[in-house]
Each structure stands twice: as C-alpha cells, then as structure tokens.
C-alpha cells in the first residue's frame, strides 16, 4: 500500500474482514482469522491512518479491534444504528460487506467519532457475566408468567426449569463476586457505589461492566453517555420541551430503577424528588431528574474516591 492519510472502515463478518479507505477508495478483503488479522495490522501500520472505524458486531469485532489497538493504531468501535442512519442520510440504501466498509470510512470522515480506550479482558469478562445474568432473570420472569396460566401437564416441567434458572442465577452471582474480588480497583469501586442507599449489587455490577467511564467525565458528559441528558425538542410552535434519548440502555434502566427506590429510601434523592413534584413537575420527569442527579453523585464519588456517608448525606 502507498503511504497516504486515510480514514479506514472495516466491516467484520464471521469469516471475512472487508476494508475500505477514504478518500483513496482502495478496498480489500481478507480472512477473519489470526493470520489474516496479523497481515491486516501489518498492512495498516504502513498507512498514515487518521482513524480506523469498526461497528459493534456482537463481539465479532473484538479480536481485530484489540489487535489494531495493541499496534497503537487509532481504532474506534461505533454504534451500528448511527452508521445505518448515516448511510440512509447520504442515500446509500444498498448493503453489502464492501459497501458497509465504505460507509464506515465515510462515517469516520464526516463524524470523527471520539476515541475511547477499549475494555480489557477482565472488563469484557464481567460484562459477559452481567449480560448472562440479565438473560437468566428475563427467562425466569417469562417462565413464572407461563407457570401462572399453564395446564397441569406442563406445570411441573416449567417449575423444574425455574428451579434450574435460579441455580444458574446463583452461579452467575458467584462468578461475578469472584471476578470483582480478583480486582482491588473493582472491589474498591463497588464498595463506594454500594455505600449509596438504593444502589444494590445488580446496579453496581452493571455500572462496573457497562460504564467504565464513570468518574472520568464531567456530569454533562456522563449524562449524555448514559442517555439521560435533557435534549432540546423545539420545532415550530413546540417550544420548551426536553427529552432524553439514546445512550446505554442497560445502564439507564439500572439507574432508573435505583432512582425509583431512592425516592423512598435515599434522603437526598427523596427530598429532591419531593421538591420537584411540589413545583408541579410530572412524576416521570421528576424521576428522570432524580436518575440524572444520582448518576452525578456516583460519578463524583468514584472520581474523588469518596464514600456516600462522608460527603453526600448532608447534601441539600
């Protein structure tokens, strides 16, 4: 490859890596295996790449993205929905692996997504365990709903499956506990988070796994990242309306439930919620504001390594 300055898009599938460069238009396709990735890293190291863009592909992108990052290349993994919206906005409706790689390169040039550190293996492990626990909980809820209206002939089997799911949940919790204990930093952070009334083990583990930026960003940035920052919704005669949207859904859901509990049992959030309601704010609007306040407090605690009782209990 000639030495040039390029934005590079890589579309990842199970067996192939399709590569496109912007603005030169060069393209290639290589095998998605260790030899192919090694060759790709070697080739891209020769190119003055301003940015290498991949989209999240259910974990398929993990091996190549980590190889590129290890070679100190500027790689970023982006949200597939954003890339698809960009493709539609630019009139690119056709979809092939080669086209997708080109769209990723164009997206990188137009949007310039911010570089963030890729998660290490330990973080990926706890993220996978947290996701599996969430799946088990969802399956248990579904089976309990079925049990309530099941006929006698299948009720016994559903009950047996529920018992198995509960055993798996216990194993998942034990695995999560073990993973956290193996990292002094994670253990310290979890203890800080758990010191807050309404933050239980499920919420703290979601934050550890899905929000590693906690404590490294300011309150506006962390709120926008999670998707609870108020966004303007002014158009025509519609003025003054705000909405929250996007962000990390699993983190937002966990924090929302924690804030709901906090309006009853956390003195700071409870008083804040009552104050908003007394001013005429709708219950859901007030609860979203409480979620944002709770996140701001957690962010500050992790940043300053401060437990709840030391600083925030007397917050007005």
Where do the structural domains in the chain lie, given as residue ranges? 5-111, 120-182, 196-316
| Sign of the Cα pseudo-torsion (288, 292, 293, 294, in order) | positive
Q: What is the pLDDT of residues 37-70, one digit of tens each?
A: 999 998 888 887 889 999 988 788 888 988 888 8
Mean pLDDT of all residues in 121-132: 85
Residue holding tokens 């993990």?
A: 62
| Model confidence at 242: pLDDT above 70 | no
pLDDT value at position 263? 95
Say which residue, 78 or 231, is predicted with more confidence.
Answer: 78
73: which DSSP letter?
-
pLDDT value at position 52? 93
- Please report, rounded to a whole number, the percentage of residues in the chain having pLDDT higher than 70: 91
| Model confidence at 78: pLDDT above 80 | yes
User: Which secondary structure element, helix H or strand E, spans residue 54, and what is its range?
Assistant: strand 48-55
Residue 181 binned pLDDT confidence (cut-offs 50, 70, 90): confident
Say which residue, 1 or 241, is predicted with more confidence.
Answer: 241
213: left (phi over 0), alpha (psi -120 to 50) or beta: alpha
pLDDT value at position 295? 95
CATH class label, 5-111: alpha beta
CA–CA separation, 48 and 24 (whole Å): 12
Q: What is the pLDDT of residues 139-177, one digit of tens each?
A: 999 999 999 899 988 999 999 999 999 999 999 999 988
* Angle, helix 34-45 to helix 62-70, in steps of 10 degrees: 40
Q: What is the pLDDT of residues 62-73, one digit of tens each?
A: 889 888 888 888
- pTM for this entry: 0.69
**Residue 1, Cβ neighbours under 10 Å: how many?**
13
Say which residue, 316 or 152, is predicted with more confidence.
Answer: 152
3 state DSSP class of 160: helix
pLDDT value at position 239? 56
pLDDT value at position 254? 93
On average, the pLDDT of the chain sits at 87
| Sign of the Cα pseudo-torsion (257, 212, 128, 308, in order) | negative
pLDDT value at position 2? 44
């Amino acid at each position: 490859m000639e030495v040039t300055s390029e934005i590079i898009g890589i579309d990842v599938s199970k067996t192939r890596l399709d590569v496109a460069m912007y603005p030169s238009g060069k393209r290639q396709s290589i095998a998605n295996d260790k030899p192919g990735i090694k060759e790709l890293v070697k080739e891209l190291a020769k190119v003055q790449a301003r940015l290498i863009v991949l989209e999240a592909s259910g974990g398929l992108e993990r091996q190549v993205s980590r190889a590129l990052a290890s070679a100190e290349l500027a790689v970023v993994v982006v949200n597939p929905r954003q890339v698809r919206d960009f493709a539609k906005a630019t009139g690119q409706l056709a979809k092939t692996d080669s086209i997708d790689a080109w769209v990723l390169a164009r997206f990188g040039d137009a949007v310039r997504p911010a570089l963030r550190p890729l998660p290490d293996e330990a973080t990926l492990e706890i993220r996978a365990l947290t996701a599996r626990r969430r799946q088990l909980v969802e399956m248990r809820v579904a089976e309990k709903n079925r049990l309530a209206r099941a006929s006698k002939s299948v009720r016994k089997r559903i009950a047996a499956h529920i018992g198995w799911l509960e055993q798996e949940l216990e194993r998942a919790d034990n695995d999560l506990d073990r993973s956290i204990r193996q990292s002094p930093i994670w253990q310290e952070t979890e203890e800080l988070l758990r010191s807050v009334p309404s933050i239980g083990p499920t919420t703290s583990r979601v934050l550890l796994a899905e929000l590693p930026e906690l404590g490294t960003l300011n309150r506006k940035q962390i709120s926008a990242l999670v998707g609870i920052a108020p966004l303007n919704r002014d158009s025509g005669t519609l003025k003054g309306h705000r909405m929250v949207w996007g962000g990390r859904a699993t983190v937002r859901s966990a924090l929302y439930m924690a804030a709901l509990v906090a309006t009853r049992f956390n003195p700071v959030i409870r008083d804040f919620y009552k104050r908003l309601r007394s001013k005429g704010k709708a219950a859901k609007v007030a609860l979203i504001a409480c979620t944002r306040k709770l996140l701001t407090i957690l962010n500050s605690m992790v940043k300053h390594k401060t437990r709840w009782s030391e600083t925030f209990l007397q917050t007005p």
